[in-house]
Every structure is written in structure tokens, then in C-alpha cells.
């Protein structure tokens, strides 16, 4: 049984979108719709370390390579727990010998999996800083309250920054580390509405409009989510239409460079419109999901459906090259 995921919400967003409801006009044009699903990788584990500086900033150290802006998403999670601005978190990526065990960066897992380690370390920071505040107020640390970046005891209070400046007088600097191994990070659903125009003489397919939908759980940084969705959608379009290896009789790859391995460029594509649907992931405190890979999946089926809508023939093999389309149309 799948945990809560936004399949119905994606479908509703697609049906209500102007792209779906705008008639498609023009000769040999077709519209295709598809929804794709991907399970998210997990269980490899991540670690994080937080250092509190005397000026109220915090150094965040992880071993998760930043492939997609994850330094910011991890900093935002630490800042949310600590009640400070994300600008006050200084994220850095070090080699994995310098932090606790950290699995590879992949499977759309970093914002979720490494984020959980960051959150755990941040809560430990709050615990230790509460103990320091208790020393200053000569109180029990369990009587110290913390909310929105403020430590308080009765009528007295310190901001996170103020208390950071008093750490050396109460026992020295604070460094906290945490690790997390979370299996089954939650499913991801993405959808596409794609319009194409097929040249029946050459078999060439032009993408004339593309709208991509993603259930991001909680979009911590929407602009980054947009970029991930657009990039992954373009990869899916390349997979559908162009990308293919050719082999010589002895098994050597014949098109081993980007000069002859055809990938789509900005000249081949319209602007990819992205729509973010947010159905929080119940397995993460902030509801996040990975978004980097699921949008690769639906373009293949959406484009095949669009070609079928335009030509009344069903394509069954990838890539959907001009020659394969002409063969299916019995033109060659």
C-alpha cells in the first residue's frame, strides 16, 4: 500500500489546466497525456554536522554532493528548526571521510534523507543551547522554552544570536552531528500534457507545447523545483524522440560522442511550463519529496499518445524517430 501521494491531485490539476481545455488546432497535430510514477530511493543513510558560531551563524557540513541546489534546501531545513534565517546557515559539502556515513547522491533522496539528518542535528543544537541558557539563568534546562529562535525562562529571553555569543562563557563551542537511515522515502508522481505536430512526409515530430506537473510534497524552493522539472522533462523528451545508441557488428558503440548522439536543445523545444502540486509527504517533518527524476518518465507515453492522436497509428518502440514513424505509416 502506497503512503499518501498526489496522484488524484495531479490528475485534477491537469484536467483544470488551460492547456488541457484549449482546443488543439492545426493539421497533423495531436495531444498526448500521461502520468508517471517513481519510487524514491532510500535506506543508504546520510549524516550532517552543525557548528554554532559566536555571531549566530551556523556551519552546516554534509557529505551529499550538491547536484540540484540541495545545499539551499538543507540549509532551509536547519534554519526552520533553529528559528533563524536561511542566510545564516553556511552549507558546505566535504569528502565523506570528514562526516559520518553518507550514501551516494542519487535517487532523488538528498533533500529528504540528508534533510532528516540535518533536522536531527538541529534539534540537538537546541537541546545543548538550552542547557547553556540554563547555566546563565541558574535554572533547570528542562524549564527553558524555545520557540521561533528565542530561548526563554520566565520573563528573560535570549535570541539564538544572543545566546550564541555567550557559548564560550558557558562551556565552549557547540557542535552536533546526526545520522539517519530512512527506508522507503515515498513515491513521486509526475504528469505531462504535450502537443506535437507530425510531418507526414519526413516523419519529423515537433513539440509545440509542453506542460509538466509534479507532486513536490512541499516545494521548499519553488524556483529550484521548476528547474528540476523542466530539465528532467527535456531528458524524457530526448529519450522519447532522439536518444539512441548504434552499434557496429563487433559491438562497439558507433555514436559515442555528443556530436552524433542526438540530444534535444533549446532550438528543438518550446518553453516547458511547470505546475507544482503540493501533497505533503507524511514521512518527512516538512512533507518534502524528491523531484529530480520522476518528470523524466511521462514524456515518453505523452509523446507517443500525441503522435497517435495526430496520425491514428500507435507507436510501440523507442525512440520515436522519423524513420520509425514513417515505417509505421507504411511510407518506407
Domains in the chain, please, with CATH?
Answer: 7-40+186-328 (3.30.365.10), 46-180 (3.30.365.10)
* Buried/exposed code over 63-92 (b: 16+ C-beta within 10 A; e: otherwise): bbebebbbbbbbbbbbbbbbbbebebbebe
Burial of 324 (0-12, 13-18, 19+ CB in 10 A): middle
Residue 323, CB half-sphere, CA atoms under 13 Å: how many? 3
Percent of the chain with pLDDT strictly greater than 70: 96
Distance (Å, whole) CA 220 – CA 76: 8
Q: What is the pLDDT of residue 96?
A: 77
What count of Cα atoms within 13 Å lies in the side-chain half-sphere of residue 107?
20
| CB-CB neighbours of 251 under 10 Å | 6
Residues whose CB falls within 8 Å of the CB of residue 97, separated by 6 or more in sequence, listed in order: none
User: Cell numbers of 126, please?
Assistant: 537546541
83's grid cell:
528559528
DSSP-H helix ranges across 168-267: 222-241
Nearest to residue 50, comparing CAs of 59, 40, 62? 59
Residue 249 carries which DSSP code?
A: T
Low-confidence ranges of the chain (pLDDT < 70): 1-3, 40-43, 182-185, 332
| Residue the block writes with cell 529519450 | 239
Cell triple for 297: 518518465
Cα separation values, 165 from 58, 129, 132, 172, Å: 12, 11, 11, 10
Q: Return the C-alpha cell found at 293.
A: 527524476
Task: Please report the pLDDT score of residue 39 as a whole number.
Answer: 75
Please tell me the distance from the alpha carbon of residue 53 to that of residue 88, in angstroms, as a whole number.
10
Give the integer Cα–Cα distance in Å for 16 and 12: 6
Q: Residue 186: what pLDDT? A: 72
Amino acid at each position: 500500500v502506497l503512503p499518501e501521494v498526489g496522484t488524484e491531485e495531479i490528475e485534477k490539476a491537469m484536467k483544470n489546466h488551460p492547456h488541457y481545455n484549449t482546443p488543439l488546432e492545426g493539421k497533423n497535430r495531436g495531444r498526448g497525456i500521461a502520468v508517471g510514477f517513481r519510487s524514491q530511493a532510500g535506506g543508504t543513510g546520510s549524516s550532517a554536522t552543525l557548528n554554532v558560531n559566536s555571531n549566530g551563524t551556523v556551519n552546516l557540513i554534509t557529505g551529499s554532493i550538491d547536484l540540484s541546489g540541495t545545499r539551499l534546501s538543507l540549509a532551509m531545513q536547519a534554519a526552520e528548526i533553529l528559528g533563524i534565517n536561511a542566510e545564516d546557515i553556511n552549507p558546505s559539502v566535504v569528502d565523506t571521510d570528514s562526516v559520518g556515513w553518507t550514501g551516494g547522491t542519487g535517487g532523488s533522496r538528498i533533500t529528504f534523507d540528508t534533510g532528516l539528518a540535518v533536522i536531527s542535528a538541529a534539534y540537538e543544537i537546541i537541546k545543548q543551547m538550552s542547557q547553556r541558557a540554563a547555566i546563565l539563568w541558574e535554572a533547570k534546562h528542562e524549564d527553558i522554552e524555545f520557540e521561533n529562535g528565542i530561548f526563554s525562562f520566565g520573563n528573560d529571553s535570549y535570541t539564538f544570536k544572543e545566546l550564541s555569543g555567550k557559548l564560550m562563557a558557558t562551556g565552549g563551542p557547540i557542535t552536533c552531528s546526526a545520522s539517519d537511515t530512512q527506508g522507503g522515502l515515498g513515491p513521486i508522481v509526475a504528469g505531462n500534457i504535450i502537443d506535437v505536430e507530425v510531418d507526414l512526409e519526413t516523419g519529423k515530430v515537433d513539440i509545440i507545447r509542453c506542460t509538466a506537473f509534479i507532486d513536490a510534497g512541499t516545494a521548499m524552493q519553488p524556483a529550484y523545483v521548476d528547474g528540476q522539472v523542466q530539465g528532467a522533462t527535456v531528458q524524457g523528451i530526448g529519450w522519447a524522440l532522439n536518444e539512441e545508441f548504434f552499434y557496429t557488428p563487433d559491438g562497439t558503440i558507433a555514436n559515442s560522442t555528443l556530436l552524433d548522439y542526438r540530444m534535444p536543445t533549446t532550438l528543438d523545444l518550446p518553453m516547458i511550463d511547470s505546475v507544482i502540486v503540493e501533497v505533503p509527504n507524511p514521512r518527512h517533518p516538512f512533507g518534502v519529496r524528491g523531484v529530480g527524476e520522476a518528470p523524466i518518465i511521462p514524456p515518453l507515453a505523452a509523446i507517443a499518445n500525441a503522435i497517435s492522436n495526430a496520425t491514428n497509428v500507435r507507436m510501440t518502440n523507442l525512440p520515436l524517430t522519423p524513420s520509425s514513424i514513417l515505417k509505421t505509416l507504411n511510407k518506407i
